[in-house]
Amino acid sequence: MPTSSKRATHTIRTASGAMVTMTYGRKQAIHLLCTECLGFETHPNDCPSPKCPVFPFRGRSIARAKGKVRT
């Protein structure tokens, strides 16, 4: 399956509260969203909220580590 090369340029908040403009793709967007949601203190892999709408999209590596994805 081909991957999309779509990237977005957007201004986001950093852990220090500063605003920064970044260009990023889908994978990094999910990581940034989860990091902000967790208060910049916890890694998205440690997310305690399976009811979050982006929880299933956090990455194949998480599912692979739990033995749920065939490689």
Per-residue model confidence (pLDDT) at position 59: 63
Q: Report if residue 21 sits inside a domain.
A: yes
Express each pLDDT in 5-49 by its tens digit. 689 999 999 999 999 999 999 888 888 998 999 899 888 888 888
DSSP E strand stretches across the chain: 8-13, 19-24
Per-residue model confidence (pLDDT) at position 50: 85
Question: How many folded domains does the chain comprise?
Answer: 1
Q: Report if residue 48 sits inside a domain.
A: yes
Q: Report if residue 1 sits inside a domain.
A: no
Q: By three-state DSSP, how is residue 54 classified?
A: coil
Is-contact 12 22, C-beta < 8 A?
yes
Q: By three-state DSSP, how is residue 52 classified?
A: coil
pTM for the whole structure: 0.66
Domain extent at residue 36: 8-65
Q: Give the single-character DSSP code of 41.
A: S
Q: Report if residue 2 sits inside a domain.
A: no
Q: Report if residue 71 sits inside a domain.
A: no
Of the two residues 62 and 30, the one the predictor is more confident about is 30
Look at the block and give the residue holding tokens 């194949």.
Answer: 60
Per-residue model confidence (pLDDT) at position 69: 46
